[in-house]
Amino acid sequence: MTGRLIGRRQAAWAAVVVLGLTSGGVVGTGAARADNGIDKLSAQQIADRSRDALLSAHSLRLSTHGYLGRGGNPSTALDLTLDRDGNCTGSVDLGRSQGSVRIVKRGNDVWVKPDADFWKSQVPDGGPAFAAILNGRYMKGSAADPRLRDVVNGCDLDTFRKLVGDHADNDRGTLNKGRKTTLDGAPVVPVTRLRDGRTVTTYVAATGKPYPLRITVRGGGANAVVGFSAFDRPVPKATPPPDQTYDINALLARQSSPL
């Protein structure tokens, strides 16, 4: 159940990302970068180049917060660093005291640490007992475990890239280019699409590769922000030590209530 719940939330965040990119984190290296000339291009050309730049990344940091305004979903937050090899580390916050989860994946191993609020709200039958057994430790399992499939897929940059690529031709709405400006000190060109009562703005780097650095979604009940940064930087290799982990199969053996 844990994996499926996290997976559904990740699907919602991915939808925000894809929505922004088809309209079309901040890079904070501090290094000087050459002007890439995108402010001379059309809005559609900028959107296409930003999408292609994102798809070319081998690793990145993805952060989101806000809500889409559909079905009364609470504001959620995601902060993950992930790569094409399926490695990742980060956290998920479901909002409104629904709990948060720490996630680490390295190779074929996955570690997941839900907090007490998550167990209480998301797994009301047996959740508090699981929390007591874990006592602040991570659950550890195999990437091949079907109970963790959604977590594994959500930690794979290739899954994210496929979502973006599959929606590349969804270009409805009015696309406009704004004036060159700065975002947290970085030169950017905003590209805005008005669609279905929502304003989706992608801030594209005007130096170096034209990565999308931030996407905002406003209106129609939505208020969400997506940030991209740490492009092509390795995912941290640190994993939870053995004394801070608990095997997921051993946990199930201790409790009859299913995950």
Q: What is the pLDDT of residues 212-235, one digit of tens each?
A: 999 998 998 888 898 999 999 999
Mean of the per-residue pLDDT values of the chain: 81
pTM, two decimals, is 0.83
Q: What is the pLDDT of residues 62-104, one digit of tens each?
A: 998 888 665 555 678 889 999 999 999 999 888 878 888 999 9
**Dihedral angle computed from the Cα positions of residues 152, 158, 163 and 168, in that order, rounded to the nearest 10 degrees:** 170
**Fold for the domain defined by 2-254:** outer membrane lipoprotein receptor (LolB), chain A (2.50.20)
Instruction: Give the residue from 52, 254, 11 showing the smallest Cα distance to 134.
Output: 254
**pLDDT number for residue 196:** 79
Q: What is the pLDDT of residues 42-65, one digit of tens each?
A: 999 998 999 899 999 999 999 988
**pLDDT number for residue 109:** 96
According to DSSP, the residues that pair with 187 across neighbouring strands are: 182
Q: Which residues contact 161 (CB under 8 A, 6 or more apart)?
A: 54, 55, 84
User: Contact at 8 Å (CB) between 69 and 221?
Assistant: yes
Give the residue-averaged pLDDT of 199-208: 93
**Domain residue ranges in the chain:** 2-254
User: How many beta carbons lie within 10 A of that of residue 148, not counting itself?
Assistant: 27
User: How many beta carbons lie within 10 A of that of residue 176, not counting itself?
Assistant: 14
How far is residue 173 from each of residues 22, 72, 117, 211, 248, measured CA to CA in Å? 10, 25, 40, 22, 47
Q: What are phi and psi of 35, to 5 degrees?
A: -60, 135
Residue 8, pLDDT > 70, answer no
